[in-house]
Structure 1
Amino acid sequence: MSYPTIVHHGAADGVTGSCHQLVMQASNSLLVDCGLFQGAETSASGKAGAERLTIDFSIEGIKALIATHVHIDHVGRIPYLLAAGFKGPILCSEPSAKLLPIVLEDAFKLGFSRDQKQVERYLKLIEQRIIALPYKIWFTLQDDEQLCCRIRLQRAGHILGSAYVEIDLNYRQTGEQKRIVFSGDLGAPHAPLLPAPKPPQRADILVLESTYGDRLHEDRRTRRQRLEQVLEHALSDQGTVLIPAFSIGRTQELLYELEDILHRKQQAPDKSKAKGQGSALDWTKLPIILDSPLASRFTQVYRELKPFWDDEALQRVRQGRKPLGFEQLLTVDSHRAHLAMVKRLTQTSQPAIVIAGNGMCSSGRIVNYLKAMLGNIRHNVLFVGYQAQGTPGNAIQLHGPRGGYVDLDHERYKIAAKIDTIGGYSAHADQQGLLSFVTGMRRWPEQIRIVHGDASAKRELGERLKVLYKMAKRGLDLRIPSAHQ
């Protein structure tokens, strides 16, 4: 067998469970991500993702795990990887090194134990394993008479700490050199808080995500205007706008955009009233409720990591604004306070915006809000992120506009609330962003492996790449692998 080779243990047949093994030598490999399968997606062994947590591949010879970012579909199976006997280091960016223990603590409590002593022992083990790598700096993982392996992380612009991975392999005995790039999840340009990703100079092999490989996003200004319009219309009914969002990344982006809307409304108070049912909405008193202890913890770490924010966000801070900690932001921590908030918003006609996890409505506090409010036309559900097939979020998105129903915790709930989707709010690059990542390289990849997308997204992105390569008169080995290939 010739090396290197790549084996895909996840995100080959869908968009979750990212896990890719770079086999460098017969008994020597790296793992890039080790994520959880979500929704109806299956693991490499063909079992449903929600039940498939154990590691279904050999970990022998895996020298290190590289975490591209801390979303659960990229790191959620790390506790199971450690339980399977993995002894190597966990390499990640400096911001991810601060965020990862929070994510893995939550994953450990959900999957293993809530015993505080066990949790503390586990977190100590995680922190001992983490090696925080600065962006743009090469890290030598192996250097012997056979192989030199160097790793470099570059900003991916997806969430704070996200990175794409450059791996340089130098085979000393044959003189062969290869650069393999794993895109991780690439962010959209002009995303709130984060600098846009810049393509690498070159790659021989590129493993490329394709979540939105078959569509284009709205630009950020249009997206922000749509958010404001949807909120104004929804809140005119004196109801609650429920925004399902994952605790890290999307939540902080939303807070950043909402702070800007409130800031501009307060700068122009005469224009800040949405008429509805004979009353007017006072934006200066509108509560923005963050109902997620995990999201609150992540938001605090985001605040502490201001040096990694982009110039626009830092400019707002210099103006005395608090993009992630404004006055109208209320946080709900305890479960008791959460239940009281659900009851209050259900029984009163006070307009409010609630951000709660999780983003696909498959668990978490958003479910209690949905159970209480889906049946009332006064309320709205606003989706701002991808809804994987088989999740309640996907069912609400599909059937809600037609007055359908959704099953939550094995009970059926009729949907009378209004349903909105702002697709341009994705933290993922769209088709153009993905293509630009490739064509922006000085030396285009000879081989591209398309992963992390639905079948149509992968297929359409692949066709577009073929056209671009043909126009440029370049050769392309395009692969759309399935699991374990």
Structure 2
Amino acid sequence: MPLPRITHHGAKDSVTGSCHQLWMDDHNSLLIDCGMFQGQDARLDDEDLALEFPIDGIKALVVTHVHIDHVGRIPHLLAAGFTGPILCSEPSARLLPIVLEDAFKLGFTRDPKQLDRYLQMVEKRIIALPYDTWFTLLDTGTQSCRIRLQPAGHVLGSAYVELDVDNAEGNASRVVFSGDLGAPHSPILPDLVPPEHADLLVLESTYGDRRHEHRQDRNAQLKAVIERALADEGSVLIPAFSIGRTQELLYELEDILHDALDDEQPQRPQDGDSNDAAGSEVDWPRLPVILDSPLASRFTKTYRELQQFWDDEARERLADGRKPLAFKQLVTIDNHQDHLRVVDYLTKTARPAIVIAGNGMCSGGRIVNYLKAMLGDHRHHVVFVGYQGQGTPGRAIQHFGPKGGYVDLDGERFDIRAKVDSLGGYSAHADQQDLINFVTRMKTWPRQIRLVHGESRAKQALASRLRECYEEEGIKVDLQENL
């Protein structure tokens, strides 16, 4: 039974630019994601409105989640004349216009009238699909295609895509696109449940060559890093993407602050004790957590409004009267002048503070101003909690910082004297074992798997592990780690 043909327009042999075209026949197709290339994958013509593929016959766009490497080329798709629907989960339907508004401002224009027309066009195209509900995309009597979204546990609204495709020759196939799969024990989000079966699985492989250690105790690790950093009498800079990672960090920082404040009960000095002997080295009640990203602030507000999609633990905190994403010590910086004043103040005073700013790979956004001003001061710490793509400033800081190296930011060289930490366990992506589990916990394993969204080493390592699993079961699989 021939499987549907798939053309990959991005994330074929890299981790960005996800875009996959599934052909229902020779003339009709749909897109799964339409993402931007980033880091070393970025292309010189990214600001050009022209796509690299024709859009004729594309009936719909399915969005797995709203990260820019999965949706960043949607403005280009619309500019090319795409008029079909944009299918996504209900939370993504709320988040996607925010992402595309920002992408339109950066790549096209900030003119309010044009922006308003564009956003109206986007919102008219979006069809919000409830999880675990079939939607018929095409049914001509001789061929059909229906789609179902399931929670993927990566960011709020993320989904893997199940497609049932029946063609005119009477061939039926279940095709599953993983999108980006989440790791277990992620804050706020319920853990994903694999599909029952797939004939063809298009599987991400971002961390196909490694395991995420310490997910269970990452909260304690984060607290230890903060205490170590603040002992140097400086600030903690955390580059983070506006959606997903930022909200996870706020959630866990609220928990750290909540526990630390509970522990800091006043104690009566004993004989011989000095007045300042008791208490923590970190002044938790006065420690500000600064969220310096207007985009992240908008996403965080929307996260708070979508509490019905949170997991049980997060909703229990709400029931206890806690505010995981809006706690007392959270300071939100929106306008640019306030941002510059905070950078200047922290640079001059090195006041203990935790700063979360975009973007996560330090290739732009407000984090760059902090880095320019503070990388040269040994009192400060930069803490990475996510993947740093090859060719990004974040990767350079992460790699060369501990060696006393330098990084180029906006064409200028900056020495790295600040301390650099990288925390494990904070990836929003499934690791190798999680990806294996996604396959092996299906009732019927896929007979063909295509690995995408990963660097060559990661794909090859995951392919090797999958082959071992299939060989143990005596099953033949057409595993393509290089398409």
TM-score by length of structure 2 reads: 0.96
The aligned residue for residue 354 of structure 2 is 353
In structure 1, the residue matched to 2:95 is 99
Q: CA distance change for structure 1 residues 52 and 36 in 2, over 3 Å: closer, same or farther?
A: farther
* 1:182 match: 177
Partner of 1:429: 430
Matches of 1:370 and 1:225, distance apart in 2: 26
Whole-angstrom distance in 2 between the partners of 1:50 and 1:388: 17
Residue 60 of structure 2 is aligned to residue 60 of structure 1:
no
Q: Are 2:133 and 1:132 aligned?
A: no
Query: Quick check: 1:150 aligned with 2:146?
Result: yes
Structure 1 counterpart of 2:226: 231
Offset at 1:269?
A: 1.0
> How much does 1:146 deviate?
2.0
Q: Does the Cα contact within 8 Å between 2:134 and 2:147 map onto a contact in 1?
A: yes
The structural deviation recorded for 1:481 is: 3.7
The separation in 1 between residues aligned to 2:216 and 2:4, in whole angstroms, is: 43
Would you say the 8 A contact 1:396–1:405 is kept in 2?
Answer: yes
Q: CA deviation at 1:93?
A: 0.2
SS in 2 for 1:40: helix
Q: CA deviation at 1:224?
A: 1.4
Q: 1:476 deviation in Å?
A: 0.6
Q: Secondary structure at the match of 1:25?
A: coil
Taking the aligned partners of 2:250 and 2:440, their CA distance within structure 1 comes to 33
Deviation at 1:197, TM superposition (A): 0.7
Query: Could you tell me whether the CA contact under 8 Å between 1:41 and 1:49 is conserved in 2?
Result: no
Render the CA deviation track for 1:368-419: whole Å, top value 9, x for unaligned.
Answer: 0000000000000000010000000000011000000000000000000000
Structure-2 separation of matches of 1:400 and 1:225: 24
| 2:77 alignment partner in structure 1 | 81
User: Offset at 1:23?
Assistant: 0.8
Superposed CA RMSD in Å reads 1.8
Deviation at 1:271, TM superposition (A): 11
Mapped contact 1:317–1:323 kept (Cα < 8 A): yes
Once the 2 structures are TM-superposed, how far is the Cα of residue 148 of structure 1 from its aligned partner?
1.2
**1:213 to 2:214 alignment:** no
**Contact 2:376/2:418 (8 A) holds in 1:** yes
- Measured after TM superposition, the shift of residue 51 of structure 1 is 5.7
Whole-Å separation in 1 of the counterparts to 2:142 and 2:114: 41
Name the residue aligned to 2:370.
Answer: 369
Partners of 1:291 and 1:49 lie apart in 2 by 30
Pairing of 1:28-427 with structure 2 (within 5 A): 28-41=28-41, 47-48=43-44, 54-171=50-167, 173-269=168-264, 280-427=281-428
| Distance (whole Å) between structure 2 residues aligned to residue 56 and residue 186 of structure 1 | 27
CA distance in 1, matches of 2:263, 2:280: 19
How far is the alpha carbon of 1:323 from its aligned partner? Answer: 0.4
User: Structure 2 CA distance, aligned partners of 1:50 and 1:231?
Assistant: 38
What are the Cα deviations for residues 415-444 of structure 1, in whole angstroms up to 9, with x where unaligned? 000000013100001111000000010010
Runs of 4+ in 1 over 4 A off after TM superposition: 47-53
| Aligned-pair CA distance for 1:145 | 2.2
In structure 2, C-alpha distance between the alignment counterparts of 1:474 and 1:49, rounded to whole Å:
44
Identity of aligned residues (%): 65
- What are structure 1's unaligned runs of at least 5 residues? none
Q: How far, CA to CA, are the matches of 1:142 and 1:271 in structure 2?
A: 67
Letter of the 2:28 partner, please give it: N
Counterpart-to-counterpart distance in 1, 2:216 and 2:71 = 32
C-alpha separation in 1, matches of 2:448 and 2:284? 52
Verify: 1:462 aligned to 2:458, yes or no.
no
CA drift of 1:55 comes to: 1.1
Partner amino acid, structure 1, of 2:338: A
Distance 2:110 2:132 in 1: 38
Relative to structure 1, is the Cα distance of residues 430 and 49 closer, same or farther in structure 2, using a 3 angstrom cutoff? Answer: farther
Compared CA separation, residues 187 and 3, structure 1 to 2 (3 A)? closer
CA distance in 2, matches of 1:248, 1:337: 22
Contact 1:187–1:197 (Cα < 8 Å) also in 2: yes
Q: Which deviates further from its counterpart, 213-222 or 247-256? A: 213-222
The answer on whether the counterparts of 1:39 and 1:49 sit within 8 Å (CA) in structure 2 is no
For 1:109 and 1:54, how far apart are their aligned partners in 2? Answer: 17
User: In structure 2, how many angstroms separate the alpha carbons of the residues matched to 1:271 and 1:140?
Assistant: 63
Q: Residue 53 of structure 1 contacts residue 77 of structure 1 at CA under 8 Å; is this kept in 2?
A: no
Are the structure 2 counterparts of residues 479 and 354 from structure 1 closer, same or farther at C-alpha, using a change threshold of 3 Å? same
Letter in 2 for 1:32: I
CA distance, structure 2, for counterparts of residue 158 and residue 49 of structure 1: 29
Deviations 1:111-146 (A, max 9, x none): 000000100000000000000000000000011122
The answer as to whether partners of 1:4 and 1:22 remain within 8 angstroms in 2 is yes
Where 2:459 maps in the other structure, the secondary structure is helix
CA contact (8 A) 2:288 2:353 kept: yes
CA contact (8 A) 1:37 1:49 kept: no
Give the letter for the 1:179 counterpart: R
Give the C-alpha shift of residue 219 in structure 1: 3.7
Residue pair 1:374, 1:413 contacting (<8 A) in 2 also: yes
CA contact (8 A) 1:165 1:182 kept: yes
Answer yes or no: is the 8 Å Cα contact 2:3–2:173 preserved in 1.
no
Q: Does the 8 A contact of 2:49 with 2:79 survive in 1?
A: no
What is the rounded CA distance, in whole Å, between the counterparts of 1:84 and 1:230 in structure 2? 47
Where structure 2 has 5 or more consecutive residues not aligned to the other structure, the ranges are: 268-275
1:5 is aligned to 5
**TM-score, with normalisation over the residues of structure 1?**
0.95
1: CA distance between counterparts of 2:160 and 2:420?
34
* Helix, strand or coil at the partner of 1:419: strand
- Cα gap change, 1:269/1:116 in structure 2, threshold over 3 Å: closer, same or farther? same
Q: Verify the 8 A CA contact 1:54 1:77 in the aligned structure 2.
A: no
Aligned-pair CA distance for 1:50? 5.3
